[in-house]
Amino acid sequence: MGEERLKRGQAVVIDMIVATGIFILITVILIISLNYYNQKLARDIEYNDMAQKSMFIADTLVFSPGIPYNWTTSNYVLPGLARDDRNLSYAKLLNFTNLTADQIKDAFKIKSYNYTFAVRYQHNNSYVTRVGEFTDNYSLIASSRRTVTYGNETVYIDFSVWK
């Protein structure tokens, strides 16, 4: 009878060790999964913020003449490039390209991000102007493209916010 109790005791201990191992394994898997989804959620939230900023900036540049209407590099509240709806002003585009990166980041409240701005002809894919370059070290990027008229040509405005 003593030997049988010993075998049952060993079985109980082995069952307890296996159950504890399974519990630890499931706990580790759960923690890893929750951490992954938490990081993914944070990344998605940041991407959505960047995409919203990119769309807002592209729309502001295309649809608005800016504040004040005849803004220059020395007196602007919010730069805009439109002479009228979806028709770019030569002078405002020149003023915009003469603003420093910090001035543009301050105006559009994107201090924690980098940006790239480009105006590209629709048909031959050459640039009218380009400000900023991507590096190989970006982790997220959100871009917005708008089609506008520049002189007698149709051009694309591309504004990208990246980190």
Determine if residue 151 is left, alpha or beta; phi over 0 gives left, psi from -120 to 50 gives alpha, anything else beta: left
DSSP code of residue 128 = E
Structure confidence at residue 1 (pLDDT) = 60
Question: What is the percent of the chain with per-residue pLDDT over 70, rounded to a whole number?
Answer: 98
Does residue 129 surpass a pLDDT of 70?
yes
Q: Dump pLDDT digits (tens) for 26-39.
A: 999 999 999 999 99
Q: Is residue 103 very low, low, confident or very high in pLDDT (cuts 50, 70, 90)?
A: very high
Name the H helices within 2-143: 2-63, 90-98, 101-108
Asked if residue 138 has pLDDT above 90, the reply is no
Report H helices in 64-161: 90-98, 101-108
Q: What is the mean pLDDT of residues 126-145?
A: 82
The domain ranges of the chain are: 2-162
What's the whole-number mean pLDDT along residues 97-113? Answer: 92
Structure tokens that stand for 18 in this block: 């296996």
